[in-house]
Amino acid sequence: MKKIGIIGGSGLENITSLKFYGEEFIETPYGRPSCKYKIYKNSDVIVYSLSRHGDDHRFAPHQINYKANIYGFYQAGVQEILSFSAVGGINLNYKNGDLVLTDDAIDNTVRGNVTFYDRTGYVVHIDMSLPFCPSLRLKLKESADLCGIDLIDKGIYICTNGPRFETPAEIKMYRNWGADMVGMTLFPEVTLSKEMGICYANISLVTNAAAGVEENRKLTSDEVIEEAKRNTLKISKIIEQYLK
């Protein structure tokens, strides 16, 4: 039976078309994942869903045990991961509520020890020419189209360390680098998934204009979470269609 993983933020646990089957705590050699995996089933698919920030949004981006989260999926036998993230829009055409099917990314984090290949004497450089799984991206785009939900078909995500938001000057620089959107969690999630041979794709939800894009405006994490919640239904619909 096919096993699919979903990583999301708050409010993404309700995958209504599938039957909730229970929760599983998966202990890994890398420690504890952010929380228990919620399990959903139908006749030919099992879904393992994980809240990246844990229950009650308790882990900030730099505190997440990314290795445990991804290894937990691997131990469960998950072959593909659909990842969903909140981002700030850098691209001036983006507006709140836009969904972007990420096609490339820049790692600007300063996290250490974030590879499964950290054994001395065994050097592996994984290929990142295609950072996101092409077949999964295609299927997600088809699913969005089928349910009439606009999904921007490409965009470059820059990942910062967090947990603070960026300065306007940083955002200007990131735009010059070619980034369309900014978030704090894509790396090392995407690279660790690749290392484990798991097909990974990301849909980013624009929750706010990045710092300095709108003049004299402050940004709060509450508004990010509220905007994410307002758009949860669109994301669940894409997932439901994808699982049909």
- Chain residues binding ligand HPA by CB under 6 A are 86-88, 160, 165-166, 182-184, 207-208, 210, 219, 224
Taking a C-beta distance cutoff of 8 angstroms, is the pair 4, 54 a contact?
Answer: no
Q: What is d(CA 88, CA 208) in angstroms, rounded to the nearest whole number?
A: 5
Residue closer to ligand HPA by CB (options 41, 229) is: 229
- DSSP symbol at 181: E
Whose Cβ is closer to ligand HPA: residue 49's or residue 108's?
108
Task: Record the tokens describing residue 144, joined without a space.
Answer: 């969005």
**Nearer Cβ to ligand HPA (100/199):** 100
- 87 vs 205: CA distance, rounded Å: 6
> Closest Cα partner for 50 from 16, 94, 82, 91?
82
**Residue with the CB atom nearest ligand HPA in the bound state:** 88
Q: Which two tokens stand for residue 148?
A: 């009439």
CA dist 204 to 31, 209, 218, 234, Å? Answer: 27, 13, 21, 12
For the CB of residue 6, give the shortest distance to ligand HPA in the complex, in Å. Answer: 19
**Tokens standing for 226?**
């509220």
Cα–Cα distance measured from residue 106 to residue 213, given in angstroms and rounded to the nearest whole number: 20
Q: How far is the CB of 91 from ligand HPA (least distance, A)?
A: 12
Q: What is the 3-state secondary structure (H, E, C) of 145-167?
A: HHCCCCCECCCEEEEECCCCCCC
Q: How far is the CB of 158 from ligand HPA (least distance, A)?
A: 9
Whole-number minimum distance, CB 5 to ligand HPA, in Å? 21
Output 209 or 238, the one with its CB closest to ligand HPA. Answer: 209
Give min distance, CB of 202 to ligand HPA, in A: 13
> In this complex, which beta carbon is closest to ligand HPA, that of residue 15 or of residue 182?
182
Q: Which helix (H) or strand (E) holds 227?
A: helix 221-230
Q: How far is the CB of 87 from ligand HPA (least distance, A)?
A: 5
Q: Which is nearer to ligand HPA, 114 or 162 (CB)?
A: 162
